[in-house]
Structure 1
Amino acid sequence: MAVSDWRKSVVYQIYPKSFNDSTGDGTGDIQGIIQKLDYLQLLGVDYIWLTPVYESPMNDNGYDISNYYEINPQFGTKEDLQELLDEAHKKDLKVMMDLAFNHTSTKHPWFVESRKSRDNPYRDYYIWKDGTYDTPPTNWESKFGGNAWTYDDDTNQYYLRLFDITQADLNWENDKVRHEIYEMINYWIDFGIDGFRFDVVNLLSKGAFENSDGPGKEFYTDGPRIHEYIHEMNQETFGGKEVMTVGEMSSTTIDHCIKYTNPKRQELNSVFNFHHLKVDYPDGEKWTKAPYDFILLKETLMKWQLGIYDGDGWNAIFWCNHDQPRVVSRFGKDDTEENRLKSAKMLAISLHGLQGTPYIFQGEEFGMTNPGFDRIDQYRDVESLNAYDMLRDKGLNYKEVIEILKAKSRDNSRTPMQWDDSRNGGFTEGEPWIEVAENYSDINAKKAVEDNNSVFYTYKKLIDLRHNMEILTTGDIRPLLMQHKNLFVYERNLSGESLLVISNYSARTVPYPEDVNADGEILISNYDDLISELRPFETMMIYKK
């Protein structure tokens, strides 16, 4: 049974394009989601979050929105979305939508009008600046590579686009823009949507348009009016309503995230930050193949846990999403079935003991892996294809670049959901828009549901614990053994109760630490017994009172 307190909730992220195809056209759709609601109810999650399903040219898989009020025909119709809401609500499932309004598609009518002339009424809906043909207004870098400004020959100015060339940044300084967005949010609230995930929402406020010594992040990340804008949005739309909100925060800080989520400030319920997912970015460089820094992973997670807790803010806690590689391939080990099962469970338990709202990405709940694509024609993601060109231009050979993409591409998480061992993993009867991982016959939802010892039931148990144990919601957190090279250990405490979570992140046996008391009731583990050592990827959650 779902819970009414959103702080005790667990969210399941659906990437509709890859979730379930009901029509056989190779692309997932809303009716496909409806077909799988019983599965999600069995898992026990409270919310399902859909990445964007609005009208879009799909240059960035839906985050380039061309009409905020209409559904992309490849996903279905507004009637399908209403049916999804109705059927989900019957099963105590709530539905969150994803909104990107730092930018729109360049196909959006506002932008089409904006580029007609410098005098057009919609010109000020976007950020247009002078430069010369060879010199953009600033040297800021796009998140997808290259300069962040695009020259328009018709009006002889540049427009800002922090992401793809087809994603023009909106001008939030313009009061009309803000209220157009608020009106749209209210439309979807009235439609019946239960929550929102706001894409890169901390980039809305731009500061000075000056050259940078780096990529330019300091001029638009957590900008000068950002908290004013988000508070205004709260007051004009979801504030005071039973609507859960989470903001995706790019390159943010703890101090800002406390401000975004402290209830007294009336901004957002919770925030995503990605610092813990940059621990395999040596010197901040994503596009390289490198082992992850385990000590840094622990330090980053705990810094945010302690900071947000002390500031009365709220974290979203997660390993995976549509922009990140599969965690069992990244921080676990997927070379054998035993290692995959043990490390997937270990990663689940060690994350779900933390404070915050847990997010599960489709397929994570039964241990889907990176697909290991070894040809460039298998990749679809615009960021990955840009990275391929950039790395080849730098002189890396084909094999070297493919090895990097195998580890870092966003397509690693976007391969079709593996439902069963039938053709295409049961995702589609047609040809899928991106290939299914080859291991679908061994790793799939049907097999996991039929096996009581599967990763699926570890997640199901963790969700049940989250619903029923107050200590997981409001207990404090105490990091332990932070310099241990193999173990991630922490304690949660509340009113004389405690939870100890201890996890071996290595594929080797490690002596049990002498200064950690494991007396108590083992609530969940990934081994059937307890010995004096911690075996490969062994993990447990121990309750004491």
Structure 2
Amino acid sequence: MKKFLWQLLIALLVVGCTQAPIKEEAKPLEEATWWKEGVLYQIYPQSFKDTDGDGFGDLNGVIEKLDYIQSLGVTMVWMNPFFDSPLVDNGYDVSDYRAILPRYGTMEDFERMLDGMHERGIKFVLDVVVNHSSNQHEWFLQSRSSRDNPYRDYYHWWPAEKGEPPYRHSLFDPGGAWEYDSLTNAYYLHTFAEEQPDLNWENPKVRQEVYDIMKFWAEKGVDGFRMDAFQFASKDTTWPEFPEGHEKDFIKWYGMRPQLHEYLKEMNREVIEKYDVFAVAEGAGSTFQDAHDLVDAERKELQMAYHFESVDMSRTPEGYTLSQFKDVFSRWDSAFSKKGWIAIFLSNHDNSRLVNRFGNPSPEFRTPSTQMLNTFLLSMRGTPYTYYGDEIGMTNIDMPNIEEYVDVEAIGKYKTAVANGEDLAEFMKVLNYSSRENGRTPMQWDDSENAGFTTGTPWKRVNENYKEINVASQDSDPNSILNHFRKMTKVRKDNPVLVYGDYELIQKEHPDIYAYSRTLGEEKMLVLLNFSNQNSSIDLPEIEGVETVIDNYKDYTRDGAAFVLKPYQAVILKMK
């Protein structure tokens, strides 16, 4: 990729930032690079495409759909784990980091898939799960076998003779993060499920094991790593007593320990620099400074982080306000306007569907609202992450009864709600809306049985609306969500202003329209997004000559100074 430097203008100061400003000297923009200019497509392999009829997606299914993936205009693919695993947490409990789970295929299948992506100019990002392993991993089996085993210190143990360990919260287990193991009369730590014991990153042998795993995959040709739950990897091994209610601010108390940065610098030297690969952290700490400490180039740690404020604002059916939406994205853009880089996303495997949370899934408005949201993602500064199915507007699946849930997180939350005496009807209402199972239903390829995902019995029920929402029906429709997505990836690729340009929020208080400009040198784009289900207008008397770049209705109107937008209309205009 041709290398060049873009000089940014002075960043817009966004009113309402609740975090302390970053004190820094003005520095030139880091060099432009492929992972800034890329568009990332996330694949949940279990649900993408099954080729052997067992009801589970596989690597050959991804290979079969490589031309489709290329047609989207994406340049990077991140796949959720396909390592050997007991699948307690759908692959985020790894029992062998160098082996493919047989139902996904073989190492040869992986290598063919990787070659196929590279032939199409697509980079591959591997999901690395090293905050914890499976309790079936050989390291843990050795570790729990005796207190003097060489692998004992690969995990965190608390001898029972010292009494119960200080309480630590578990995200998946209502009983807390310490689990008693009678074999050696000790407790082990698990931030997530009890089957996912936390690795002891304070042990240098563990760190070298992880770096060797990353080198193994880098030598196979992977282009980057997504570091799962990595902000929790380092622990305060004095095991302090945290105040009551601390779990409500989990990241503050459990994440971003100072030693984490030492380990990341070490990882950078051992793997990232040596193999010239890209790495993104899941999470960005609890402050802007935390995020910069992870990704600023001179720190030589990671290259990108993604924060959760963008999805946290819409965890319940009550939803979000456009004012909140504007505030979150404007604050994060302002904090990273001079240096550092972040991801832009609205959905992934840990959240429900994009259109249900931020758009309007009704038959009348699903298409324009999904197009509007995809326009937003692909016109902001930062690397856009698109989750499989969002390019066709897949929606949540109705699951009102707990018996249908298989996700360890959902079941753990339900047990906690029961233990706490919560209103279970209200709990299930929220779970049905927000559960990550909504984002894991099989990909809807066509209107044949099981949406063309499998010839067998799918591991999870296909959404009943697959006959209306599928790739085949949208592929030939020039006005479909799918083809609008393809157009937008091309618009982003053809206009570096949408990658590197300054962002400026326009009319912050407008109740319906999110308007902003992107400016790079003499080039300026105006983005107008109507987040409402009714016509809305915005007065912009200073805007004169414009050229339409993209319009999901193709007929926005202008009445004097007023730009009039239809429900969920999305327009990008080039200033003349």
* Superposition TM-score, scaled by structure 1 size: 0.94
Q: Residue 197 of structure 1: SS of its match in structure 2?
A: strand
Comparing 383-392 with 513-522, greater Cα deviation is found at 513-522
Q: CA RMSD in A?
A: 2.0
Work out whether residues 284 and 291 of structure 2, in 8 Å CA contact, stay in contact via their aligned partners in 1: no
2:284 and 2:294 in contact (8 A); partners too: no
Residues 1:407 and 2:436 are matched in the alignment: no
Amino acid of the structure 2 residue aligned with 1:342: P
1 CA distance for matches of 2:82 and 2:330?
35
* Aligned position for 1:211: 241
Q: Which amino acid aligns with 2:187?
A: Y
Distance in 2 (alpha carbons) for counterparts of 1:241 and 1:359: 23
Q: Deviations over 1:170-201 (max 9, x none)?
A: 11111100001001100100111121111011
Residue 330 in structure 1 maps to residue 364 in structure 2: no
Of residues 364, 378, 402, the one that matches 1:352 is: 378
% identical equivalent positions: 39
Work out the CA distance in 2 between the residues paired with 1:2 and 1:322.
Answer: 33
In 2, the alpha carbon distance for the partners of 1:350 and 1:291 equals 18
Q: 1:144 Cα deviation (Å)?
A: 1.7
- What TM-score do the two structures reach when normalised by structure 2? 0.89
1:188 aligns with 2:214: no
Distance 2:555 2:274 in 1: 48
Is the Cα contact below 8 Å between 1:392 and 1:401 reproduced in 2? Answer: no
User: Is 1:418 paired with 2:440?
Assistant: no
CA deviations on 1:63-119 (whole Å, 9 max, x unpaired) are 111100100011011111011112222222222210010111111111111111221
Provide the rounded CA distance (Å) in 1 between the counterparts of 2:544 and 2:199: 53
What is aligned with 2:155? Answer: 126
Alignment of 1:84-163 (within 5 A): 84-130=113-159, 136-146=164-174, 147-163=176-192
Query: How far apart, CA to CA, are the structure 2 residues paired with 1:143 and 1:257?
Result: 22
Larger deviation: 506-515 or 445-454? 506-515
Q: Output the CA distance in 1 between the equivalents of 2:276 and 2:431.
A: 41
The secondary structure found in structure 2 opposite 1:435 is: coil
The SS at the match of 1:309 is coil
Amino acid at match of 1:227: H
Equivalent residue letter for 1:237: V
Q: What residue in structure 2 maps to residue 284 of structure 1?
A: none
> Separation in 1 of the partners of 2:218 and 2:494?
29
Letter in 2 for 1:291: G
CA distance in 2, matches of 1:340, 1:2: 39
Where does residue 476 of structure 1 map in the other structure? 502
CA deviation after TM superposition for structure 1 residue 397, in Å:
5.7
Q: Deviations over 1:186-223 (max 9, x none)?
A: 01001111211110112111124112121254343111
Letter in 2 for 1:260: L
CA shift in 2, pair 1:5/1:171, >3 Å = same
Aligned residue-pair number: 536
1:486 maps to 2:515: no
Give the whole-Å Cα distance in 1 for the aligned partners of 2:261 and 2:486. 37
After the TM superposition, list the runs of 4 or more consecutive aligned residues in structure 1 that deviate by more than 6 angstroms: 1-4
Structure 1 residues 374, 218: CA separation in 2 closer, same or farther (over 3 Å shift)? Answer: closer
Which of 499, 505, 523 is matched with 2:531 structurally? Answer: 505
Q: Deviation string for 1:302-359 (max 9, x for gaps)?
A: 111110223x1011111111111101011101112x3000100111112211111111
Does the CA contact (< 8 Å) of 2:145 and 2:183 recur in 1?
Answer: yes
User: Is the contact made by 1:500 and 1:518 (CA closer than 8 Å) also made in structure 2?
Assistant: no
CA distance in 1, matches of 2:151, 2:34: 42
2:307: which partner in 1? 273
Q: 1:343 to 1:185 in 2, by over 3 A?
A: same
Q: What's the offset of the Cα at 1:488? A: 1.5
Structure 1 spans left out of the alignment, 5+ residues: 282-287
Partner of 1:285: none
Question: What is the SS of the residue equivalent to 1:238?
Answer: helix
Deviates more, 1:203-212 or 1:112-121: 203-212
Of 532-541 and 356-365, deviating more is: 532-541
SS at match of 2:526: strand
**Shift in Å at residue 121 of structure 1?**
1.1
The one of 219, 223, 227 equivalent to 1:198 is 227
Greater mean deviation of Cα atoms: 482-491 or 70-79: 482-491
Counterpart code for 1:74: R
Single out whichever of 528-537 and 39-48 deviates more from structure 2: 528-537
- Equivalent residue for 1:69, pick from 92, 98, 116: 98
User: Which residue identity lines up with residue 572 of structure 2 in the other structure?
Assistant: M
**How do 1:21-60 residues align onto structure 2 when only pairs under 5 Å count?**
21-60=50-89
User: How far apart in 2 are the matches of 1:224 and 1:108?
Assistant: 28
Q: How far, CA to CA, are the matches of 2:430 and 2:419 in structure 1?
A: 15
- Structure 1 residues 452 and 242: alpha-carbon distance in aligned structure 2, compared to 1, 3 A threshold: farther
The one-letter code matched in structure 2 to 1:409 is: S
Instruction: State the one-letter code of the partner of 1:435.
Output: R
Q: What does residue 575 of structure 2 align with?
A: 544
Amino acid at match of 1:421: D
